[in-house]
Structures are given as C-alpha cells and as structure tokens.
A and B are shown apart, each in its own frame.
Chain A
Amino acid sequence: MRRAVVAFGRFWWNFLIGDTPELFVGTLLVVGAACLLRHDRTAGLTVVVALTVVFLLASTYRGCRTAIRPAPVDKPRP
C-alpha cells in the first residue's frame, strides 16, 4: 500500500514538475493571470497567450543551455 502511494506521488511529481519546474510555475502564473484579468477579455486573452509563449521559449532556452552534450537515449521502463 505504501509503495503504491509513493509510486502515485512520484508519478504526479514527475508529471507536473520533473526536470522542468519552470513550466509548472509558468502554468500557475498563466492561470493566475487569467483569473486576475477575467473581467477584461482582450487583456486577459492577450496576456494568457503571451505568457504561455514566453514560458515556452524561456524553458526551451534553459533546456538548450543546460544540454551540454546529447542526452543519453531514454531508457525503457519495464
């Protein structure tokens, strides 16, 4: 039972955060911005899309800078 709970928690940790915590934080900020600007349609939609693009580019840039050599091929998870 304990192993199952740990495995479940690990799955969600890897799924939501993993090696890209900035995407998780960015998503929270996108949701927060949408909430704050929900009464201003134009500003709300613009900010939501713009923030998403910014976080994608920033995270990809970070991945590019830290990729100092080609990563090993993904291991199978039997």
Chain B
Amino acid sequence: MSTTEATLALAVFLASAVEMVEALTIVLATGATRGWRSAIEGSAAGVGLLAVLVAVVGVPLVRYVPIATLRVVVGALLLVLGLSWLRQAILRASGHRAPHDEDQVYSDTVARLRDRSGHASPAAGRRDALGFVVSFKAVLLEGMEVVLIVLSLGASAHRLGLAAASAAAAVIVVGFVGVLIARQLSVIPENIVKMAVGIMLTSFGVFWVAEGMGLRWPGGDLAVPVLIAGFVVVGGIAMAWMRTLRAPPPHAVTLVDRRGIGR
C-alpha cells in the first residue's frame, strides 16, 4: 500500500468515524426511547442505502469520467469540505464556538421523541415507525458526507474499493465501541478527529486540484504527507492566533444582534 493509499484510507476512516459517532448518538437515543428493534432496522436500512449510492454513483464515475476532470472537480469538493471542517475545528478549539456535545444531543433527542409520541416506548420487540424513521434519517443524513468523501477520494485515486472498505470499517468500529460505551460517546475527542480529517481533506483537495490541472507535484504522491504536515502547522498557527482574539464586550452583543449578524 502506497503512502497516498494509506493516507486516503485513514482520511476516509476518520471522516466516517466522526459522522457515525454523531449518527450513533441519535440511534442510541432512539433505541432507548422507541425500542432497539426499530432503531437497528432503521440504521441498517440507512447504511444499505448509502452503500447502494456509493456503488451506483461511484462505479460510473471511475469508469467514464476523464481522470483529470474528476480530480479537479473532486479536489474542489474536498477543498470546500476540508476547509469547512478545519475552520470549525479551529473555532471550537480556540473557544469561539461551543464544542459538539453528544450528551446534550442524546438528552435532547430522548426528550423530543418522548414529547412527540406522548407515551412510553412501544412493547419490547415490536416495530415502531417513528423509531425506524428517526434512525434511518440520522444515518442517511450523517452518512451523505461520508458518501461524498468515499466517492471523491476513492474515484480520484481509482481506489473506490479501498475507500468504501475504510468507511465500512469505521461503521463497524464505531458501532462496536458505541455498544460498549453506550451513552458515553462524548469521551471520543471529536474535535481533534475532525481537525485531523479537515487537514487531510484539504491536503488531498489542494493536491488533486493541481494534479487535475496538469501541475505535477515534486516527489509525486509524497507531496500529500508534506501538505498534511504543512496544514498541521497552519492549523496550529491559526488556533494560537484565534485564541489571542477576545470576544467583544457585552454591549456590542446587543448592537450586533439588532443587525441580525452572527446568528
């Protein structure tokens, strides 16, 4: 396995793991509230649909779209996604944005499901439409970004199978860990993983946009780890810089709120 393939597999694995942790929180809340049978069936249906999407969209992409075009388009998509994740992780790490709290998401989901149904969970082992739909949608929505990452990274490197296998491994690992630690998904350092994925996606994005345009990197594929190292440094500098910027005084909050900015 080459350096690029190893990095690709790691990027897909970590990205899938982050998204699956978010989906798993809702699935666990649904299972605890509406019964495990429907929650598991809904999740399985969501994962199945995502796998079909990868096969239906990914195989024609690899076979029929010219590789240079594919790399530019995919590189641009990865740049948008990677920069967005990296920006979010930097803002959270520097204290300018609240961290994603899985415990809070779990509590909110349980409360909302109880409010919606107005009664306790259905009898054990019976199917529940609400539980099925909530789990299905959670897995599908969180998994869409994973599908995009699998398709883009897999198709650009012509290693769709490797990318899909890495995502599947992440689903299995997160599912297994989720069962073991149950509700305590908040112990997973999500922001660090998100920052690592953001750095890798951004690096692949830059690499493939240039490659697709015919700009050859010195060292070929070895440029990817160099780009990753460079963006680690940039991320660290950005975090240190953002920490030096203080929040505005309380009266400024009112002024800004009235203008509707920052919501």
Which residues of chain A have a CB within 8 Å of any CB of chain B? 11, 15-16, 18, 20, 23-24, 26-28, 30-31, 34-35, 37-38, 41, 44-45, 48-49, 52-53, 55-57, 59-61, 63-78
Nearest CB in chain B: distance from A51 CB, A: 9
Whether B91 and A78, one on each chain, are in contact in the complex, defined by CB atoms closer than 8 angstroms, is no
| SS class, residues of chain A in contact with chain B | helix
The residues of A that contact B215 with a CB separation of less than 8 Å are 34, 37-38, 41, 44-45, 48
Q: Does B247 contact A (CB under 8 A)?
A: yes
The residues of A that contact B141 with a CB separation of less than 8 Å are 77
Nearest CB in chain A: distance from B200 CB, A: 14
Whether A56 and B210, one on each chain, are in contact in the complex, defined by CB atoms closer than 8 angstroms, is no
Whether B262 and A73, one on each chain, are in contact in the complex, defined by CB atoms closer than 8 angstroms, is no
Q: Does B176 contact A (CB under 8 A)?
A: no
Whether B98 and A73, one on each chain, are in contact in the complex, defined by CB atoms closer than 8 angstroms, is yes
Decide: A38 near B216, CB < 8 A? Known: A23-B84, A27-B76: no
Cross-chain pair count, CB within 8 angstroms: 147
Decide: A26 near B137, CB < 8 A? Known: A49-B230, A53-B234, A70-B97: no
> Contacting A68 at CB < 8 Å: which of B81, B137, B256?
B256
In the complex, chain B residues 104-130 whose Cβ is within 8 Å of any chain A Cβ: 104-105, 108-109, 112-113
Nearest CB in chain B: distance from A52 CB, A: 5
Whether A56 and B76, one on each chain, are in contact in the complex, defined by CB atoms closer than 8 angstroms, is no
Q: Does B101 contact A (CB under 8 A)?
A: yes
> Contacting A56 at CB < 8 Å: which of B101, B238, B245, B262?
B238
For the complex, what is the distance from the CA of A35 to the CA of B83, rounded to whole Å?
20
For the complex, what is the distance from the CA of A18 to the CA of B87, rounded to whole Å?
13
Whether A67 and B80, one on each chain, are in contact in the complex, defined by CB atoms closer than 8 angstroms, is no
The residues of A that contact B252 with a CB separation of less than 8 Å are 68
The residues of B that contact A59 with a CB separation of less than 8 Å are 83, 87
Decide: A57 near B91, CB < 8 A? Known: A38-B214, A70-B98, A76-B138: no
> Contacting A48 at CB < 8 Å: which of B80, B84, B101, B210?
B210
Decide: A76 near B105, CB < 8 A? Known: A26-B83, A31-B72, A48-B215: yes
The residue among B26, B94, B209 with the most chain A CB atoms within 10 A of its own CB is B209
For the complex, what is the distance from the CA of A68 to the CA of B261, rounded to whole Å?
9
Question: B133's closest neighbor in chain A, by CB?
Answer: A78
Whether A34 and B90, one on each chain, are in contact in the complex, defined by CB atoms closer than 8 angstroms, is no
Question: A65's closest neighbor in chain B, by CB?
Answer: B245
Nearest CB in chain A: distance from B22 CB, A: 8
The residues of A that contact B100 with a CB separation of less than 8 Å are 73-74
Pairs A-B, 8 closest by C-beta atoms: A67-B96, A78-B134, A70-B98, A34-B213, A66-B262, A44-B215, A38-B213, A27-B79
